[in-house]
Structure 1
Amino acid sequence: MRIAIAGASGRMGRMLIEAVLNSEDLTLTVALNRPDSPDIGQDAGAFLGVETGVAITDNLAALADADCLIDFTRPEATLTHLQACLEHGVKCVIGTTGFDEAGKQAIQAAAQKTAIVFAPNMSVGVNVTLKLLEMAARLLNSGYDVEVFEAHHRNKVDAPSGTALAMGEAVAHAWGEDLNAIADWARHGETGPRETGRIGFSVVRGGDIIGDHTVYFCGTGERIEITHRSSSRATYAQGSLRAVRYLARKDFGLFDMHDVLAS
């Protein structure tokens, strides 16, 4: 498959480019970046000292040369890229987080015309962790308070992270609840005793933390912690390539990493 990478000069974009170049069955054909990027016109493999013959561009018409786009940018950019994908018949793997409801609905609508894998986290380990959380939440559905903690690098702009939200949703779903109805997004001042059946969120932003997530089930006399820590973005890149290969067999539809891992 011919692969396009959005945000080609970013940390995740570069990790994806390296992963595609190291794969035997995928070919890098398009590298996209913002019009104001100083890297426009440079070879996409320059940071590796490799000449790929693919110049970084802001021209979305270049997507005509791709079969699938991998996008870990920002919601506004991703939705713009997605429209170009529809114009050129390109499939899409979306790891971008921070979408509002309108953005999510736009992705659902696009999936009626092309094949999309949309997941808040492409890591295989994170998606296994989500399954473990569902199991734990069903068994610990009373007598335990749940807190979701996450930490990321100082440049991450959305909070809580998409992965933290997915973890909260996994617990809420197991309880038969809507996360938005039972979430405590922040605490300040005299909050009073904790309400039963709520899910709390705590966020840290600092340094170069790639991604730490822990869900606490706090009971009387004991505490259960389910944790995932990322030490490299390579796990997201490899999960993304797995999603690309899954889409090779799909013409349209909206899928997540659970679909990919189950195939």
Structure 2
Amino acid sequence: MAKFAVIGHKGRMGQALATAIEEAGHEFCVGIDLGGDPAPVIGQCDVVVDFSSPDALVGNVKAARSKGVPILIGTTGLEEAHFSAIDEAARDIPILQTGNTSLGITLLSALVKQAAERLGDDWDIEVLEMHHRMKVDAPSGTAKLLGEAAAEGRGVALDDKMDSGRHGQTGARTPGDIGFATLRGGTVAGDHSVIFAGNEERLTLAHSAENRMIFARGAVRAGGWLIGKPPARYTMHDVLDL
């Protein structure tokens, strides 16, 4: 049985995590929310799970590092400064940062990479995602994760090939670009599709999240796996040994 600290535990994901922790037979050690300093309390826990906000991330990582506690980061909308802080802290503690903790999405990203590796450059790649009306970042962290998998499969940098701003007279599609389309509405937990469009044929790899509990259960499994690992930066692929 592991002791889990949850940052952002009063939010929807935090509540789902509390349920998933109990389902898995672990202990909900402590919950921390906006304005609370995690450092004084997380030292009594085995692992920290953070689904709070980008603004709080650097402080949360520093707190986990100061106490020598592993941390799983599921917060999306991160920028370069966040990744730098994660890289720095991973010298001293194990950190798993991901845009999606679903085990299905993890496997999907591996399939996307494989398809991008094996299909020719004449196959266009488009990432389509839909989330609930309250989601504030776009494209989603999961869409970017899938785009990164496609880019890695092609041996290119996503930043150089990402096209997510089509509007008006855009001209023909740029060969080799990885396109993104974002939909928002209703209460959709998360739908993602990666479309490989070739000449006269099309391959679609897709995943539908029916409830955010899938992310909570994946996070709990990954958090338990992270305990006892040496300091480094890990991904969900490491959890599934992909």
TM-score interval, normalised by the smaller of the two chains: over 0.9
Supply the distance in 2 between the matched residues of 1:145 and 1:22 (Cα, whole angstroms). 42
1:87 equivalent to 2:88? Answer: no
- Say if 2:13 is the partner of 1:12: yes
Aligned residue identity for 2:192? H
SS of the aligned residue for 1:236 comes to helix
Matching residue of 2:154 = 175
Aligned to 2:197: 218
* Local SS of the residue matching 2:108: helix
d(CA) in 2 for partners of 1:262, 1:221: 35
Aligned to 1:239: 218
Q: Residue 197 of structure 1 corresponds to which residue in structure 2?
A: 176
RMSD: 1.4
CA distance in 1, matches of 2:120, 2:144: 19
Query: Contact (CA 8 Å) 1:141, 1:175: kept in 2 or not?
Result: no
- Which residue of 1 is the match for residue 110 of structure 2? 131
Q: How many Å apart are 1:203 and its aligned residue?
A: 0.5
Q: Which has the higher contact order (CA 8 A, sep 6+)?
A: 2
TM-fit CA distance, 1:126:
0.3
Instruction: Provide the C-alpha distance between the structure 2 equivalents of 1:75 and 1:101, rounded to a whole number of angstroms.
Output: 11
**From 152, 167, 170, the counterpart of 1:188:** 167
Distance 1:71 1:142, change over 3 A: same
AA matched with 2:12:
R
Q: Which runs of 5+ in 2 are unaligned?
A: none
Show the 5 A alignment for 1:244-259.
244-259=223-238
1:224 alignment partner, SS class: strand
How far off its partner does 1:188 sit?
A: 0.9
Letter in 1 for 2:197: C
Q: Distance in 1 between matches of 2:122 and 2:37?
A: 55
Q: Larger C-alpha radius of gyration, 1 or 2?
A: 1
| Residues 13-64 of structure 1: per-residue CA shift (max 9 Å, x gap) | 000001112222x2111111124xxxxxxxxxxxxxxxxxxxxxx2422222
| Alignment: residue pair count | 240
* Map of 1:77 onto structure 2: 56
In the superposition, the TM-score normalised over structure 1's length comes to 0.87
The answer (yes or no) to whether the contact 1:113–1:252 under 8 Å persists in 2 is: yes
Q: Deviations over 1:169-220 (max 9, x none)?
A: 1111111111111111111111111121111110012121111100111122
TM-score by length of 2: 0.95
